[in-house]
Amino acid sequence: MRIARNGMKVIFPVFLVSFLMVILSVYFRSTVIVALFWFFLILLGFLIYFFRDPERIIPEGEGIIVSPADGKVMAVESLKSSFCGDSVRVSIFMSLFNVHVNRVPYSGVVENVEYRPGQFRPAYRSGVEKTNESNTIYIESGELKLIVKQIAGVIARRIVSYVGKGDRVVRGQRFGMIMFGSRVDLILPSRVKLRVGVGQKVKAGETIVGEID
C-alpha cells in the first residue's frame, strides 16, 4: 500500500512505540503495558489507513476538470472572484475516513500560493473559508483560471502543499494533503458546466467535476 508523502513522519514514531511495548511486555507482566500495546497498535493501524494514497485512473480528454479531493460535495454556490471573475464554488468535505491526498483538478501553471493562519472551526460550517487556516493555490492555463483552497477543520492541524509559484502542474497530479478531517474548495469560472451536485461523493483525480464548453 502506498503511503502519502509526510505520512511516515507520523506513522514511524507510533510504530517505534508499539515495538517498544512488545519488548516491555516480554519482561514485565503488566496489564498497563499490554493495554498500551493494544492502544498504539490500533492507532498504528488507523494511521496507515488514514495516510493511504491509492492510485487513481485520471480521465482523459480536453476541457475536463477533476475533483481535487475525496469526500462529499457539501455546497455549490455562485460568487465573484478577482482571479476567476464570475465563478462557482464547489465545497468538498473530507471526513476522517476519506483519502486526504489532494490532486490537481486541471493542468496549468501555479500563478500563486497563499498560506493563511487562522482558526480551526468545523470545516462543514459556512464561512470557515474566511476564518480557518487555509492554503490557496491559483492555477492558470491558456483557457482557464481556477482556484483550489485547502481549509483546515477541527482536527486538522497541518496543511501540506507540494507545489509553489511558477510550477507547472498536470491534471491528477498530487499537490498536497490536509491532515485529519478538512475541506477543499474548488472555484471555477461560471462558464464551466458542472457535473456534480450537493450530496454527491467524489474521488480526487478521478471524478469529473466539470467541463469547459
pLDDT for position 164: 93
The answer to whether the beta carbons of residues 204 and 176 sit under 8 Å apart is no
Do 143 and 79 lie in one domain? The reply is yes
Do 107 and 38 lie in one domain? The reply is no
| Cross-strand partners of 160 | 177
Catalytic positions: 182
Do 73 and 28 lie in one domain? The reply is no
Do 165 and 94 lie in one domain? The reply is yes
pLDDT for position 206: 96
Overall number of domains in the chain: 2
CATH number of the domain at 176, please: 2.70.70
Neighbouring residues of 179: CB distance < 8 A, sequence distance ≥ 6: 6, 10, 100, 156, 157, 158, 159, 160
Q: Burial level of 116, CB count in 10 A (0-12/13-18/19+)?
A: middle
| Cross-strand partners of 86 | 80
φ, ψ of residue 37 in degrees (nearest 5):
-60, -50
On whether residue 57 sits in a domain, the answer given is no
Q: Which domain holds residue 80?
A: 64-212
Per-residue pLDDT of the chain (213 residues; tens, 9 = 90+): 788 777 788 888 888 888 888 888 777 778 888 888 889 889 899 888 888 889 999 999 889 999 999 999 999 999 999 899 999 999 999 988 899 899 999 999 999 999 988 777 766 777 778 788 899 999 999 879 999 999 987 765 678 889 999 999 999 999 998 877 689 999 999 999 999 999 999 999 999 999 987
pLDDT for position 50: 83
Do 37 and 117 lie in one domain? The reply is no
Do 140 and 35 lie in one domain? The reply is no
On whether residue 152 sits in a domain, the answer given is yes
- The whole-angstrom separation of Cα 173 and Cα 108 is 11
Considering only the C-alpha atoms of the chain, give the largest distance between any 2 of them, rounded to a whole number of Å.
69
> Quick one: cell of 125?
460550517
Do 84 and 127 lie in one domain? The reply is yes
Do 138 and 43 lie in one domain? The reply is no
Do 129 and 43 lie in one domain? The reply is no
- Nearest one of 160, 134, 159 to 147, comparing CA atoms: 134
pLDDT for position 208: 96
Do 82 and 122 lie in one domain? The reply is yes
pLDDT for position 138: 97
On whether residue 58 sits in a domain, the answer given is no
Do 167 and 202 lie in one domain? The reply is yes
- The whole-angstrom separation of Cα 18 and Cα 84 is 49
On whether residue 2 sits in a domain, the answer given is no
On whether residue 156 sits in a domain, the answer given is yes
Do 109 and 175 lie in one domain? The reply is yes
On whether residue 59 sits in a domain, the answer given is no
